[in-house]
Structure 1
Amino acid sequence: MLKANPAVWDLRGFLATGDRRMTSWSVRPGYRSALMAVDDRVLFWLSGDGRDGLVRGLWGEGRVTGPAEPWVEGEPGHWRRPADAERVRARVPVDITLFDEPVPHTELRAVGVHDMEVQRQPFGPNPSWVSRDQLARIELLLGSAP
């Protein structure tokens, strides 16, 4: 699972461009990002408190398209502050399509998904992980399979 904090990365600004696909995402270098492999399924989570009108929950899904790699942001893109862009040290190539409507955290809790790492530690590093049991319950909401 990859996640975004709307206080750090401007999802609303990204959506305003009309784009619904993400082709890479920042990750923390380390064993977790090294475990990401081409064609692995990836979910996109938005954290935050919802005060900005963007609900916390699942916003998209897709696949990993390449191994995590060292990266330095050359452009500010949708980072809210230059310092946030400057903190990026690695990225993973992905093909993530955002949903037409996000799956709010309340719907996840309703099907028994209440203990994902992003729910327990919302400000942890990227990537996070999802257990097989959690994924099976998420698939009930998404109507999809791996």
Structure 2
Amino acid sequence: MPAVTIEDLGAWLLKANGMTSGLAEWRRADRWCVRPGYRTRLMAAGQPVIFWVSGDRRRVTPGVWALGELTGRPAVSDGKLRVPLRLHWLDEEQRVHRDSLRADPGLTDLEVLRQPQAANPSFVTVKQAAVLRAHLPPAHRSLQRTFVQ
């Protein structure tokens, strides 16, 4: 797994399993579980976030379901490391399907496609974020690198 650097971070990608939980639960969440490590030490308020739902196509459409930003650094809450965030949920017809991202030659190395079982947080490089932006509905193409550290 390549090392993430602030210089090459386009966005964090947080995942949820669409087979074990659901949209109502996710919409209420203002924090998301992340695995402790060097990546979580890089996370800070204002950094872009992509919310990814995984799962079996028969029950859920895997892909990008929400966009947003971190509102703070990860902290322990209820015995788990969680990162605070604010998400804007895409309508069903606006979601970016995994299959369309897999078909884009500019996203073949996207971590969530190469290692879908990896723990949160995953990441998107600056270059990948630029390619992914073209797949988003026009009103949501503001995914950009808006932070400095």
TM-score range, shorter chain: 0.7 to 0.9
**Are positions 1:110 and 2:103 aligned together?**
yes
Q: Which runs of 5+ in 2 are unaligned?
A: 1-12, 145-149
Shift of 1:29: 1.4
The answer to whether the 8 Å contact 2:35/2:120 transfers is yes
Which residue of structure 2 lines up, in the alignment, with residue 70 of structure 1? 76
Alpha-carbon offset, residue 5 of structure 1: 1.0
* CA shift for structure 1 position 117: 1.1
Deviation readout 1:31-63 (Å, 9 max, x if unpaired): 1111111100000001122232x1111111000
Question: Does structure 1 residue 93 correspond to structure 2 residue 84?
Answer: yes
Tell me the distance in 2 between the aligned counterparts of 1:62 and 1:68.
Answer: 16
> Among the aligned pairs, what percent are the same residue?
40
Q: What amino acid maps onto 2:33 in structure 1?
A: S
Report the TM-score when normalising by structure 2: 0.76
The two structures, once aligned, show a CA RMSD in angstroms of 1.8
Q: How many pairs are equivalent? A: 125
- In structure 1, how many angstroms separate the alpha carbons of the residues matched to 2:28 and 2:104? 27
Return the alpha-carbon distance in structure 2 between the equivalents of residues 13 and 68 of structure 1: 23
- Secondary structure (helix, strand or coil) at the match of 1:50 reads coil
Change beyond 3 A, Cα 1:126–1:120 = same
Distance 2:63 2:87 in 1: 15
- Residue 93 of structure 1 aligns to a residue in which SS? strand
TM-score for the superposition, normalised by structure 1: 0.77
Give the Cα separation in 2 of the matches to 1:41 and 1:61: 8
Q: Which residue of 2 aligns with 1:128?
A: 122
Q: Distance in 1 between matches of 2:78 and 2:111?
A: 27
Structure 1: tracts of 5 or more residues without a match: 74-88
Match of residue 119 from structure 1? 113
Please give the secondary structure, in 2, of the residue aligned with 1:4. Answer: strand
Residue 56 of structure 1 pairs with residue 62 of structure 2: yes
Paired amino acid for 2:25: F
